[in-house]
Amino acid sequence: MSTSTSGRLGGKVAYITGAARGQGRAHAVRLAAEGADIIAIDNCVKAETTSYDGPTEADLDETTRLVEAQGRRILARKVDVRDLDGQMAVVKDGVSEFGRLDVVVANAGICSGSMSWEIPVEKWRETIDVNLTGTFFTAKATVPVLLEQGTGGSIIIISSVAGLRGLPFLADYAASKHGVVGLAKTMANELGQHNIRVNTVHPHGVATGMMPLEMMELAGQHSTTLAPILMQALPDPVSQPEDIANAVAWLASDEARHVTGIQLPVDLGTLVR
């Protein structure tokens, strides 16, 4: 798919987590195409409790190549979002190299499927640690920089339809994605006086490497009861990463300068069902 760009982020710098592939890569490339330099991190390993392959350092290298192909600079580093010190270090180095920070995209996340009462404790902990605590650490590593600069900013947290609805088979994921909505709403109130906007984006299914096969198995087992809750209104079965990046680019830009504290669905009409 083709996406038009307008240079809306010229002279700005964006920090993106989970940038090695999928949505994170799409955000990095799109914001670079809009004129931003990029600070990017990914842990480049498979999560312990997920069934799909994890991102690799080669994936992060490819993100670097694609951003540089847009004519922009990028600092990419292998860092886990659960490592607060690591995030703070890369943000400091990125700001030192590029001069500032304007946009934060808290994108890193993991997902797996289980009935709620059958979720292993270790899976619950890893999902919450990555998706919710990792997002908190991303904010903790970046908000002080934005405040010190005193020039505002845009923080965009990638949530999910599961952050607004009790999707079946995803209790740990839904809890984490509801959690980041609460975090974003509070931050939007606290940071609004500093002209720092905080919003969440809520995709449905997105064509990335994050595809837990057990979700499909559970949907098949509950095809007439729970699976219909997952259905979308539009004909496309899933979104492409670029569809979500379009929304992120808008929220990052001055076109959305009066938008804060919202939950923006890019969900193929799932939430109207």
Q: Is 173 a catalytic residue?
A: yes
Evaluate whether 27 touches 110 at the Cβ level (below 8 Å).
Answer: no
Give the whole-angstrom CA distance, residue 213 versus residue 215: 5
Catalytic residue from among 33, 173, 196, 215 = 173
CA 167 to mean position of chain CA atoms: 19
Evaluate whether 264 touches 247 at the Cβ level (below 8 Å).
Answer: yes
DSSP 258: T
- Strands of the 153-158 sheet, one edge to the other: 74-78, 37-42, 13-17, 103-106, 153-158, 196-203, 263-266
SS3 assignment, position 154: strand
Evaluate whether 63 touches 28 at the Cβ level (below 8 Å).
Answer: yes
Q: What are phi and psi of 56, to 5 degrees?
A: -125, 170
One-letter identity of residue 114: S
92-110 in b/e form (b: 16+ CB < 10 A) is eebbeebeebbbbbbbbbb
Q: Which residues form the catalytic set?
A: 173
